[in-house]
Amino acid sequence: MKPYLEDHLRHLAEDELPVYVHDLSGLRRHAQAIRDALPERVELFYAAKANPDPRLLEVLRDVVDGFEVASGGELRHTRKVLPRAHLAFGGPGKTAAELAQALELGVERLHVESEHELRMLCALAADRPVEVLLRVNLPISLGDVPLAMGGRPSPFGIDPSHLDACLRLLAAHPGIQLRGVHAHLASGLDATEQLRVTEHVLVWAAQWARARGIRLSEVNVGGGMGVDYADPGCLFDWQVFGTGLHRLLDGHPGLTVRIEPGRSVSAYCGWYVTRVLDVKHSQGEAFAVLAGGTHHLRTPAAKSHNQPFEVVATDDWPWPWARPAAAGEPVTLVGQLCTPKDVLARRVPVERLRAGDRVAFAVAGAYAWNISHHDFLMHPAPGFHYLDAASPDLVRPSAEASPSAVHAQPSRGGRLAQRRG
């Protein structure tokens, strides 16, 4: 943990917990390192679904080429936060209203998921120019991946056998310009596997276009770059991926490759910090009950993993009796929900964990708060703090960027802005 982050966590008042702390300077540095590792001809879009927090989007705006949105809600939100950003609109089950909204708000690229969706777009676009990619589900063996969206029977993308019908539709609607194809097939791949899939997609796309006599200028190979929750220090190897892309692009002159990662961009900048309410032993096993839980951070329940964490020990203990504690043994960290599924980490060995200590869950900047079932049991929402060590002054985020109430307090070790969720 960065010293300024740890300092911030130590000084949080008890009633400020649980809180999400986002390290904006860490995000900026990490995203820039990703950008620097990629060849110039590769466009980097950020998948807003991973974390659409306005402060994160604003940091990323200066680094990425654009944003992938996957619903009318994400489209409206991202357009409002970043009025001039390039937007690509993907995702299954787009409604006619969402397609009309996309035309209205001028998205730069539409990723078409089916022949029916293309028919609706043709009907709605009339004479308006639109640039599209056809999202394809290629039959490719993906092995044992954490999340497969394609390569097998799937609701995502278009089966290759249906592409010719799409081409006939496009030929009858010259305002809708086919720029290329899109293939997000899996999430959770390492750099070598991601390169293998990318090569497969590029070769397939080139052969398909040649056979149909069409020119493709763009292939979007999606996101899915892996994040290792069991070993957060082991990052997706962007250098290996970038070098491999350089080599692949040599075989495809004139082609722009676009990627749209989400998790691997924002996951590392987020921490969910809470406190231990109680520690108990049950039939020989230790359990720590924490303020908050999976209704704030659903990621470990959704992905069936242990969320990595660090214990931030505090000596404050207001009661006259001994602190409930576990020491030198595995502990299961649970939340306040009345369900055995409210587990953030299971049987993880700890040196010492006491009621009143703080626990900082790492890798909580993607698919975390925004995928959680906030209202279950009606516990309060967490706070949201934003640290930016790059700037020592205090900022108050614009009320427009967030529907929530915003307040700020004196900075501790970095620029700080905060709001209640």
Contact residues toward ligand PLP (CB under 6 A) are 47, 50, 68, 90, 149, 184, 187, 222-225, 260-264
Give the C-alpha separation, 363 to 160, whole Å.
Answer: 37
Query: b vs e for 373-391, b when ≥16 Cβ sit within 10 Å of the residue's Cβ?
Result: ebeeeebebbbbbbbbbee
**Element holding 56 (H helix, E strand):** helix 54-61
Least separation in angstroms between CB 185 and ligand PLP: 9
Least separation in angstroms between CB 263 and ligand PLP: 4
Alpha carbon 301 to its chain centroid, in Å, reads: 16
Least separation in angstroms between CB 387 and ligand PLP: 23
Inter-residue contact 265 to 30 (CB < 8 Å): yes
CB-nearer residue toward ligand PLP: 68 or 237: 68
234 noted as active-site residue? no
CB-nearer residue toward ligand PLP: 50 or 178: 50
Please provide the DSSP assignment of 79-116 as one string: HHH-TT--EEE--S---HHHHHHHHHTT-SEEEE--HH
CB-nearer residue toward ligand PLP: 71 or 187: 187
**Element holding 124 (H helix, E strand):** helix 115-125
DSSP secondary structure letter of residue 267: G
- Which class for 228: exposed (0-12), middle (13-18), buried (19 or more C-beta within 10 A)? middle
Tokens (6 digits) for 35: 């950008």
Inter-residue contact 325 to 313 (CB < 8 Å): no
CB-nearer residue toward ligand PLP: 267 or 417: 267
CA-nearest of 87, 85, 83, 53 to 68 is: 87
Least separation in angstroms between CB 223 and ligand PLP: 3
Peptide bond into 300 cis (omega under 30): no
Could you say which of 122, 166, 269, 338 is catalytic?
Answer: 338
Residue with tokens 């993906």: 142
CB-nearer residue toward ligand PLP: 224 or 293: 224
Residue 15 burial (CB count, 10 A): 6
Least separation in angstroms between CB 30 and ligand PLP: 14
Least separation in angstroms between CB 315 and ligand PLP: 39
Strand 109-112 vs strand 130-135: parallel, antiparallel, or unpaired?
parallel
Which residue has the CB atom at the shortest distance from ligand PLP? 223
CB-nearer residue toward ligand PLP: 152 or 210: 152
CB-nearer residue toward ligand PLP: 185 or 301: 185
Least separation in angstroms between CB 184 and ligand PLP: 4
What lies within 8 Å, CB to CB, of 409 at 6+ separation is 416, 418
Q: Give the SS3 label for residue 356.
A: coil
Q: Which residues are catalytic?
A: 338
